[in-house]
Amino acid sequence: MTLTIQATTTGAAPPGATATGATAIGPPRRRRLGLGRPIPYGRVLGPLLLLAVWSAGSASGALDPRILSAPWTVLRTAGALTADGRLPDSLLTSLQRAALGFSAGLVIGTTLALVAGLSRLGEAVVDGLVQVQRSVPVLGLIPLMILWLGIGEAFKVVIIAIGVSITMYIQTYAALTGIDSRYVELAEVVGLSRWRFVRQVVIPGALPGFFVGLRLAVTGSWLVLIVLEQINATSGIGYLMFQAQNYAQTDVILVGLVVYALFGFGSDAGVRLIERRVLSWRRTLAG
């Protein structure tokens, strides 16, 4: 649609005026204020840049190989550890610990958040206990858990589960209780039952916060695992790194760090992919 404005002054017609003295004004140009189009595989650019700087520093001699081994040295060491079976066995052990602890913490934390976020009685009972637990560092529970559960696999899984459950609870509970009150009023106006309100309004509205907690919990489980596997452990990537420290094997330590980094980066990317699929209905600045 074209709008015309009649010229009211004498003399020369204003810029854009038609022969009849009208000014044609077209539709306003749409300004794009967002982040622009996503860059394909953009999140690997940072790690690749770091790898390039590391390689350049090693090749030029700026990095002492006794302090920081070159990337190609780390690759050769990883190949040797894979050939003798130590790296695959350590990988499997670490994955099992992380998966068990993360799964248990995910279920416990989400369940507690639902109980506290959907019920005033549940909030009164659960939230205070979790907040007290949150004020105690998770790794500070290690001595107590060793006394209770020994130095086997159980205490490692429990520590990871506690850390994951607290993260999931905080994020999911905040998302559940942060639903706009106008949605509550709208649900009352249209006559939604409590179950339909929870299912159609509260749960979808809390999913973004849930996925934020999921991403934090996934990476947090790997951070806790690094510490646990260097305390009274006899297997795992952390134990492999601890043994390498005793013999000043920098390349082996770097292999362990690269493996942890790949685990964290890959698991976070997996959660992001699931989030995009589940929340495909949501239009955000990042999308």
Per-residue pLDDT reduced to its tens digit, 232-261: 778 889 888 888 888 888 889 999 999 988
Greater model confidence, 7 or 194 = 194
Give the pair of three-digit tokens for residue 136: 């105690």
Q: Evaluate whether residue 11 is within a structural domain.
A: no
Which of 95, 44, 51 has its CA nearest to residue 72? 51
Predicted local confidence at residue 171, as pLDDT: 93
Residue 107 has pLDDT above 70, yes or no: yes
pLDDT digits (tens, 9 = 90+) for 127-148: 888 888 888 888 888 888 888 9
Q: Evaluate whether residue 14 is within a structural domain.
A: no
> Contact 86/77 with Cβ under 8 angstroms?
no
Averaged pLDDT, 97-124: 92
Q: Evaluate whether residue 185 is within a structural domain.
A: yes
Predicted local confidence at residue 228, as pLDDT: 86
Q: Could you tell me the pLDDT band of residue 26, with boundaries at 50, 70 and 90?
A: low
Predicted local confidence at residue 113, as pLDDT: 93
Q: Evaluate whether residue 251 is within a structural domain.
A: yes
Greater model confidence, 31 or 255 = 255
Residue 58 has pLDDT above 80, yes or no: yes
Q: Evaluate whether residue 103 is within a structural domain.
A: yes
Q: Evaluate whether residue 177 is within a structural domain.
A: yes
Greater model confidence, 151 or 111 = 111
Helix orientation angle between 203-228 and 250-278, rounded to the nearest 10 degrees: 170
Q: Evaluate whether residue 29 is within a structural domain.
A: no
Q: What is the CA radius of gyration of the chain?
A: 28
Q: Evaluate whether residue 28 is within a structural domain.
A: no
Q: Could you tell me the pLDDT band of residue 217, with boundaries at 50, 70 and 90?
A: very high
In the chain, the number of structural domains is 1
Residue 215 has pLDDT above 70, yes or no: yes
pTM: 0.77
Half-sphere exposure for 64 (CA within 13 Å, toward CB): 2
d(CA 164, CA 45): 29
Residue 284 has pLDDT above 80, yes or no: no
Greater model confidence, 175 or 28 = 175
- Highest-scoring range by mean pLDDT, 55-59, 144-148, 166-170, 238-242: 166-170
Residue 7 has pLDDT above 60, yes or no: no
Mean pLDDT, all residues of the chain: 81
CATH code for position 164: 1.10.3720.10
Q: What is the domain extent for residue 136?
A: 85-276
